[in-house]
């Protein structure tokens, strides 16, 4: 006759929690880091989108009274957008601002040209991803985060 030795259930699972933690901890840390990077990118894009809207809104307004002598509307809006981005922690030297025709990328839209009155313009902001997300890409093949908005050059006034 065989006699079985009864084991207690907790003796068979000794060390199981340690092994499970060793397997799951790296995955959890990887997910946590990904979540932090994703939220940082989302926040950065929200800042860029707001700066683009604010800059384009200035371009759509009557600029005759607040524009300094000798500076074009395009330059003033570019400076303001870079200033907004710098105030939010971006390096203004890395911020590229383009004011172009929405259907003709690369063709600069002159906000002060009377022939462009009531025409649509696109304000686009580009920032390299390298300061936001570490990567191994070269300067020639750099990824960029882009935010753009299209407004009408209506020269509207603020009514109070």
In the chain, % of residues over pLDDT 90: 50
Rounded to two decimals, the pTM is 0.75
- DSSP state letter for 111: T
Task: Read off the tokens for 70.
Answer: 């000798």
Q: Report if residue 159 sits inside a domain.
A: no
**Mean pLDDT, the chain, integer:** 85
| Confidence at residue 133, expressed as pLDDT on a 0 to 100 scale | 64
What are the backbone angles phi and psi of residue 11, rounded to the nearest 5°? Answer: -70, -30
What is the domain range of residue 55? 16-152
26 within domain boundaries: yes
Lowest-pLDDT choice from 12-16, 90-94, 138-142, 149-153 = 138-142
**Cβ atoms of residues 125 and 51 within 8 Å:** yes
Is 24 a domain residue?
A: yes
Residue 93 corresponds to which tokens in the numbers above? Answer: 């030297």
Domain total for the chain?
1
Q: What would the mean pLDDT of 7-23 be, rounded to a whole number?
A: 77
130 Cβ neighbours under 8 A, 6+ residues apart: 137, 142, 143
Residue 2, in any domain of the structure:
no
Using alpha carbons only, give the angle 154, 156, 160 rounded to the nearest 5 degrees.
165
Please indicate, yes or no, if residue 7 is contained in any of the structural domains: no
d(CA 100, CA 59): 12
């Amino acid at each position: 006759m065989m006699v079985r030795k009864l084991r207690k259930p907790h003796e068979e699972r000794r060390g199981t929690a340690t092994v499970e933690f060793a397997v799951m901890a790296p995955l959890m840390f990887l997910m946590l880091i990904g979540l932090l990077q994703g939220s940082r990118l989302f926040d950065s894009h929200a800042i860029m989108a707001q700066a683009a809207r604010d800059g384009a809104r200035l371009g759509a307004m009557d600029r005759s009274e607040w524009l300094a002598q000798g500076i074009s509307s395009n330059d003033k809006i570019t400076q303001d957008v870079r200033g907004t981005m710098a105030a939010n922690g971006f390096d203004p030297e890395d911020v590229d601002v383009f004011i172009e025709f929405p259907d003709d990328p690369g063709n600069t839209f002159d906000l002060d040209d009377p022939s462009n009155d009531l025409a649509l313009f696109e304000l686009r902001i580009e920032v390299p991803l390298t300061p936001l997300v570490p990567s191994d890409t070269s300067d020639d093949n750099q990824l960029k985060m882009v935010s753009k908005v299209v407004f009408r050059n209506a020269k509207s006034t603020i009514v109070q």
